[in-house]
Amino acid sequence: MTDGTNGTGSTDNWDWGAVADFMPHFWDGVLVTLQVLALGSLISFSLGLVWALAFRAPTRLVRWPVGLLTEFVRNTPLLVQLFFLFFVLPEWNIQFSAETTGTLAIGLHYSTYTAQVYRAGIDAVPVGQWEAAKALSLSYRRTWTAVILPQAVRRVIPALGNYVIAMLKDTPLLAGIGVLELLQRSRLEAAQTFQYTEALTVVGVAFILIAYPSSLLLRALERRLVR
């Protein structure tokens, strides 16, 4: 007779007890994942707008360095950037916790993408809006804050939301530097109990339950903004 286990020591049948044991660690992982996602999104949206405005600077001394930096970040893997920030910067006496490093890396990486989204939104503002602001003798700052940016941001909200979902799906990469997000929590739990199926399945379902409703909300928001 067999004992119902395979060669790795895990059972062939689904074990709800293993799921129950994993749930406290699961919720801790969810909290860390959502914290990284929220702060990373805030960094990417804010910094992306800074890059987008820098692209329109009147001097090349601003445009060119920003262009080189964003191209470099956008064309290197996020995992490489994570390792660089976590393992190389401490050699220069710049060190952050794993969670802070992961948040900064995701925010910086995706800011180079949101910058292009902002640029497209700004370029889509009708020329007549610029001319009207000039005719009203609005200051440069007032033109941007009261006329251009409100219209541009409204156009790009759905695209920015898509990058939030992309950031969510990239948070498992943070396990590479030891951040205790969902994937890392499941791996640690499974390493102790050898119940890999249960832990990893719960994490996979969790990502679907977070990402899919978010995508539906973004579609609804996009339809509303179009109207």
pLDDT of residue 3: 46
pLDDT of residue 115: 95
pLDDT of residue 195: 79
Query: 5 pairs with which residues across the strands?
Result: 11
Give the pLDDT band of residue 173 (cuts 50, 70, 90).
very high
Q: How far apart are CA 155 and CA 222, in angstroms?
A: 9
> Region 128-155: what's the mean pLDDT?
86
Q: How far apart are CA 83 and CA 115, in angstroms?
A: 24
> Region 120-128: what's the mean pLDDT?
89
pLDDT of residue 212: 86
Q: How far apart are the first and last CA of the chain?
A: 66
Express each pLDDT in 25-54 by its tens digit: 888 889 999 999 999 999 999 999 999 999
Q: How far apart are CA 154 and CA 66, in angstroms?
A: 24
pLDDT of residue 34: 92
pLDDT of residue 7: 44
Query: Running DSSP on this structure, what letter comes out for residue 10?
Result: -
* Cβ proximity of 96 and 124 under 8 Å: no
pTM of the model: 0.84
Express each pLDDT in 189-217 by its tens digit: 777 878 788 888 888 888 888 888 888 88
